[in-house]
Structure 1
């Protein structure tokens, strides 16, 4: 706002300032929100596909080959012999890692800007119910999921103990899952992480709908259902696996 007929003496003595309340950020907030929306949808699609692939744990053997191990071999050999073995898989991993870095950076950047804008005057209880809880806890649930991703990679991808079981063997997906989820603390951690994923992903998808400018009433109703249905399916599917192994239904 431009101050007309400003008291120059007051400005000199610091009672009035012509400086902006905060420095103009290098990246506009709308751009960060757009990156958050796109990377969040990438992760949403990934966890859905990842869950569907892991459900091969329940499928019977094919010609003596364990179904989920066959699926893992397919992922490693995608594109061969045109492309080197595991090259396509590594492209997916690099894309996911870049999306993770951008998403985490955006989350902390937006949180910091929000705190600066509010100052000491914090607004509370503007929206009630589950939506308010998930909105307030997005940063916390995001940190929990980041820790879970690190543990999950150390456990079932890299086989680094003590995160992974002592019997870990590369390529033996079925045996590694059984060995890992037979440990009740690990199984419970995975189950809790999936509940957290549901909370984070459901609210994140709905935020992405708004940030991507989807304003039509019909589309927003459809996507509101999707925002809760897809995370619920992912949560139930992913919880079923460690629970089935921990209870001894799969061994």
Structure 2
């Protein structure tokens, strides 16, 4: 659970870095998108790095969701039919992870249909496979798409922040300073994702990015 979560947290951080290139304009953003398809060519075949990343992420996602379901089932059996009701911060934390996780999982499917595959009617009607910048702008010019994306960034940020607190224990990090450092990294990444990714659809709606 922790290792697969760490893999996806790393991907989110790298993906955020790439998304921020949209502030440098269409050429920079499309250049980054094109580079992903030809990274390390001719040393490696075209799109090999991209497909290796996709396979690793899919495996990590399956493991993460599978472990989450397994842990939930084990915890439910361990508490028994007359389990005590958990209250306070522990209750909120236990409720947040599956709820935010399901929301992010649903977003992944919609996001792929929208900006990677261009599947109608999820994607904008003007979708062009080779123009990532135009596709992103066209998608976020639709109010429902922009609102949905911002809402999911809130859920993802909460999931990241909470996930890093449990990751420290799951990986056996016992030192107080190391645990505090992991929690701080998770909080900073969550804030960066919320502000960085969340700003894009808002600025598209305001006409700043067009």
Q: TM-score when scaled to structure 1?
A: 0.80
- For residues 196 and 97 of structure 1, the distance between their equivalents in structure 2, rounded to whole angstroms, comes to 20
5+ long unaligned stretches in structure 2: none
Name the counterpart of 1:57.
22
Structure 1 consecutive aligned stretches of length 4 or more whose deviation exceeds 4 Å: none
5+ long unaligned stretches in structure 1: 1-35
Q: Deviations over 1:78-113 (max 9, x none)?
A: 121122211111000000000001111111111111
Name the counterpart of 2:70.
109
> Is this contact kept in 2: 1:182–1:245, CA < 8 A?
yes
Q: Deviations over 1:136-155 (max 9, x none)?
A: 22112111110000000110
- For residues 183 and 43 of structure 2, the distance between their equivalents in structure 1, rounded to whole angstroms, comes to 42
Name the counterpart of 2:206.
247
- For residues 96 and 83 of structure 2, the distance between their equivalents in structure 1, rounded to whole angstroms, comes to 15
The structure-2 alpha-carbon separation of the partners of 1:37 and 1:156, relative to structure 1 and needing over 3 Å to count, comes to same
**Number of aligned positions between the proteins:** 210
For residue 132 of structure 1, report the CA deviation from its aligned partner: 4.1
For residue 201 of structure 1, report the CA deviation from its aligned partner: 1.1
The structure-2 alpha-carbon separation of the partners of 1:60 and 1:162, relative to structure 1 and needing over 3 Å to count, comes to closer
> Is this contact kept in 2: 1:169–1:176, CA < 8 A?
yes
Name the counterpart of 2:29.
68
Is 1:91 the counterpart of 2:56? The answer is: no
Determine helix, strand or coil for the equivalent of 2:123: coil
Q: Deviations over 1:191-228 (max 9, x none)?
A: 00000001111111111110100010111222222221
Name the counterpart of 2:127.
168
For residue 158 of structure 1, report the CA deviation from its aligned partner: 0.6
Name the counterpart of 1:15.
none
Structure 1 window deviating more from structure 2 (160-169 vs 118-127): it is 118-127
Q: 1:193 aligns with which of 141, 152, 176?
A: 152
- For residues 12 and 32 of structure 2, the distance between their equivalents in structure 1, rounded to whole angstroms, comes to 16
Structure 1 window deviating more from structure 2 (77-86 vs 187-196): it is 77-86
Structure 1 window deviating more from structure 2 (204-213 vs 135-144): it is 135-144
Computing the radius of gyration from Cα coordinates, the structure with the larger value is 1
For the aligned residue pairs, the C-alpha RMSD in angstroms reads: 1.4
